[in-house]
Chains A and B, each alone.
Chain A
């Protein structure tokens, strides 16, 4: 029956890599005359692609469900121990029995080797790797080796606990099931891996729609399976203020959608720790001076009254501005309030960075305001960008004085605000589909940057939209980038603005598409050969099936199916 040979199966047959049956992820073409492109990957292929990997055709069998044993020279390390618990038989094998396949060496456990003297990391939080430590911060070497005729062991050498976590994730992805049998295998292999960029993030927005904590945890879990390491938490915005401040409890009391749709300080702490256990930083964003309408509900004096009718403060002007907009930069109260609020935030966050927003400051309200006019005259300002600069610089200095590092959207740079060079800029703008000039501009001005422009996952469309994310490269898209400028790129972030996303659809919308971005930010630049996007499709599909296997409701990227047990996987992130 010639028809039975799907391209994917054909490719497996010609690939003499494995000597047994295959299963993992099955894509199906749209039509016979439109066959799938690209080369399917064998089961047990990791995502994102490691820096370098050698897979032997020799394989070892997993003896039973308890064969995945962990040892380490770093004892009593809570981060490692919780990782060992996470990579449990249930995660790897679900509820399947595991039977040893005869005639193969048996897998006999995994050993984590870390340098001595890093015990203190076990109680710390991950951070942005310093330039001089980037080569080792998340690096690992994973060797699956035959010790004797009968046993195979895995060794992970890492330089930090975070590198060990990345190595464990890769290790877990190497184990594959033989068809629908109860035989699981791992290939003899050597992997040396380290990320291309130290900042690989995902931004969630909990202000447009509230996202409850189990969903945030699901996202963090799935991020760790995809080697993403920053959760950028856009926690408040115009629409709601779910963060419960101890200093100003009125903010959430009046600004949350509902009293129960909030994040208590302990809950924020729990999320930060949940992320830490997975080697993920949590960067909180408190956006000012725009996107602050919600403050009006509890502290109306913080916002600039607009003169929409030309006479009365607090009046809107259709198509131009609301009745009140943008923090009032003329009042000392604004600055003292923010200092108190950010003093609290500095204590809540465990990351050295705080995201200060600074995006979308539009001038039409200020232009209507006689108070702003007077303020400009007083300060000899002739441009509204100087008013923005006034607020921006004071706010940045204040936050720096608290000991935090500011991260902001790149808008002030685009508006001509003079910023210190130690401010990290997140580039989000694009003009049509053209974003490279914005990134180049920030680099030309000498700033360290995080790129998001091509990776707004809230823009949805029919089809294989992940391909465009995958082929957007921060370096290759910039024809005039210099070597020094390349070093200023810290990484990137996928963003989902939540106007149309909430727990009903968020996880599905993000996973596995965000994997395309994760690989762009993790894997060597050489993976970006456009011919390889078709190959990547097969690996990404395998990754989506892996996520599904682990209970993450990752949506399909094309026709096909994953594995027999797919049917019993929960469709939602309900636990």
Chain B
């Protein structure tokens, strides 16, 4: 990733944010009235916030596991049934972990909430109405909308989840699980009478994990896919290889991971691992989009293929022992790329493929006599032309292999050769502050490209304190452009580059900071009050902790009813 240039600016920002760090033990964050202040968690408020919510006074129903069950009407499929089992287990587990707080021990009739006027009754069944047969794989056109009715006027005392696709059922089940909160005596779970109509604002909502700078175990990736589903993310952007290591075990080129992985047996993703990850994601409505970044960020490829990369030279014209981007003059490089990309397109079912194209180091190309001669013989001076030509060829290869594949490219490819790029390429905007990223989104969409944004969501950049509001308030459509242009922004995502992240710290570093991005991408543009969100995020964090994930505290001093407990 993203070396060098960002550091000084970043440190400057950190210093600004820290103020005079020595002046306080952070006490200043305590407010005065409620001193010491904490953000009290909401109860039964979903994250991300649904689009339309109607509540009916203080009416509530009670779910009593294990009596509670789901009941499918109309369509179902293995994917829905699997999800129902998952959420059934999750709700039961929630219930059982609360039993130790139970202070009733009284019989059923004496439950304190039973006598209250707002108690409607037990919700023992949630009907699941899937209107159309299941789709097998999540995709760019997936319909994630759903309607959830709990004791609505037209359905008094009952619960119903309706969706036109199985993906909507998944999102609705997640929301349903989040509506539940403990009754006052902890004997059961309750939820408010609610009508909820929900759908995502953006269709592309991604988390990028980088498995090259550090290897992430399959278990940790699966754990984070679970967390993604619990935050209604729908894309896992898998930055699978880079300069540092090549853990993807290729069928056609096994030598790439044999020589380029950190360890050829243990620090790789076998085809079986990848199939497991794709399947686990599919069951949660998450697309897996792999990124094979070229022509830069490819040093690890050179362990297997030394001639694949450009040899760098000293100013005196001697090889300096280092290697730069892929050598774009070698015919062989294109043949190999075509073979590898053909495999990748077959292995990953999603119609999107990320081709990278960022941060190409022109200095090495400039130093290389072969490339110098090529440039001189054609009277070329701008080395970015080489990058553009290479990337255009990659795009041609992909189109030739699979006309239905959509390629995603980092913004430099667009910046260096905008007009030549096919209009259906999706441009990934990652550079600059919000203003600069907005200008880029304007340029990209003005030429008719779809765009995704991650500039403001580089979660590997950490700082002290409550940093999530800045992610929360970054809006992908906040730029000068026509409404048609804004519709071309299909979403974006959080990126956790791996220089300082591995299996030891990836989960707490990513969550709940990525939850802020998740709500920005799912909920209405008008959901932008960080104070209101703080309380819901506090609940959401504890919800994820209670589900067994080490999700770090977002708001300052706090505790959860069921804390992340190493003894659990």
Contacts and interface: CB of A to CB of B under 8 A. Distances in A.
B22 A432 contact: yes
Interface in A404-447: 428-432, 435
Nearest to A505: B508
Interface stretch (A131-139, A153-161, A532-540, A567-575): A567-575
B214 A561 contact: yes
A569 B267 CA distance: 13
A559 B556 contact: no
B464 A458 contact: yes
Contacts of A31: 3, 243, 299, 361
A184 B303 CA distance: 28
A261 B559 CA distance: 9
Contacts of B466: 500
A499 B557 CA distance: 5
Contacts of B47: none
Interface stretch (B7-15, B65-73, B227-235, B427-435): B7-15
Contact of A214 (B214, B306, B545, B567): B567
B317 to A, nearest CB: 17
Contacts of A3: 299, 302-303, 306, 309, 323
A103 interface: no
Contacts of B29: 499
B217 A460 contact: no
A365 to B, nearest CB: 11
B3 A322 contact: no
Contact of A560 (B10, B214, B501, B554): B214
Contact of B18 (A431, A453, A459, A556): A459
A28 B32 contact: no
Interface range on chain A (Cβ under 8 Å from partner): 35 or more
A555 B504 contact: yes
B38 interface: yes
A553 B22 contact: no
Interface string B250-272: 00000000010011011100000
B463 interface: yes
A300 B326 CA distance: 71
B115 interface: no
B502 interface: yes
Contacts of A430: 21-22
A467 interface: no
Contact of A428 (B22, B299, B309, B361): B22
Interface in B531-562: 545, 550-554, 556-559, 561
B25 interface: yes
Contacts of A321: 32
Given A32-B322, A504-B545, A459 B21 contact: yes
Contacts of B214: 556, 559-561
Contacts of B461: 462
B260 to A, nearest CB: 10
Interface string B440-480: 00000000000000000000111111100000000000000
A432 B15 CA distance: 9
A316 interface: yes
A23 B338 CA distance: 36
A317 B466 CA distance: 24
B26 interface: yes
B262 A26 contact: yes
B553 A1 contact: no
A2 interface: yes
Contacts of A499: 26, 29, 465, 553, 556-557
A515 to B, nearest CB: 15
Contact of A497 (B4, B26, B35, B499): B26
Contacts, number: 242
Say whether chain A's binding surface is mostly helix, strand, loop, or mixed. loop
Contacts of A564: 263, 265-267
Interface string A242-270: 00000000000000011011000000000
B171 to A, nearest CB: 26
A463 B464 CA distance: 13
Contacts of A429: 22-23
B541 to A, nearest CB: 9
Nearest to A324: B35
A456 to B, nearest CB: 7
A572 B567 CA distance: 12
B272 to A, nearest CB: 15
A214 B462 contact: no
Given A500-B552, A558-B500, A316 B464 contact: no
Nearest to A544: B504
Interface in A384-404: none
Most B CB contacts (10 A, CB to CB) among A318, A430, A508, A509 go to A508
A459 B309 CA distance: 41
B57 interface: no
A321 B319 CA distance: 67
B400 to A, nearest CB: 30
A561 B214 CA distance: 6
A548 B23 CA distance: 35
Given A26-B262, A28-B244, A210-B563, A559 B213 contact: yes
A431 B565 CA distance: 37
A2 B306 contact: yes
Contacts of A569: 503
A239 B35 CA distance: 9
B507 A293 contact: no
Contacts of B265: 564
Interface in A518-575: 548, 553-561, 563-567, 569, 571-575
B32 A318 contact: yes
A33 B306 contact: no
A33 B243 CA distance: 12
A30 B3 contact: yes
A559 B217 contact: no
B3 A258 contact: no
Most B CB contacts (10 A, CB to CB) among A360, A504, A558, A567 go to A504
Nearest to B544: A504
B556 A500 contact: yes
B564 interface: yes
A271 interface: no
A215 B558 CA distance: 17
A556 B11 contact: no
Given A31-B3, A461-B11, A564-B263, A503 B363 contact: no
B35 A240 contact: no
Contacts of B10: 462
Contacts of B558: 209
Given A1-B306, A261-B563, A323-B35, A463 B7 contact: yes
A212 interface: yes
A555 B505 contact: yes
A417 B561 CA distance: 42
B299 A561 contact: no
Given A500-B556, A508-B508, A360 B25 contact: yes
Given A508-B504, A555-B502, A571-B220, A239 B36 contact: yes
Contacts of A258: 559, 561, 563
A502 B566 CA distance: 11
A130 interface: no
A120 to B, nearest CB: 35
A214 B568 CA distance: 11
6 contacts: A33-B361, A33-B364, A319-B32, A459-B464, A460-B462, A505-B509
Interface of A: 1-4, 26, 28, 30-35, 207-210, 212, 214-215, 218, 238-240, 257-258, 260-261, 291, 293, 316-323, 325, 359-360, 428-432, 435, 453, 456, 458-463, 497-505, 508-509, 548, 553-561, 563-567, 569, 571-575
**5 closest residue pairs by CB, A with B:** A430-B22, A32-B322, A322-B35, A504-B550, A505-B508
Given A32-B364, A458-B464, 20 more contacts: A2-B321, A31-B243, A33-B363, A210-B563, A214-B567, A215-B566, A238-B27, A320-B32, A428-B25, A430-B21, A431-B23, A499-B29, A502-B564, A504-B552, A508-B504, A559-B498, A566-B267, A567-B217, A567-B267, A571-B220
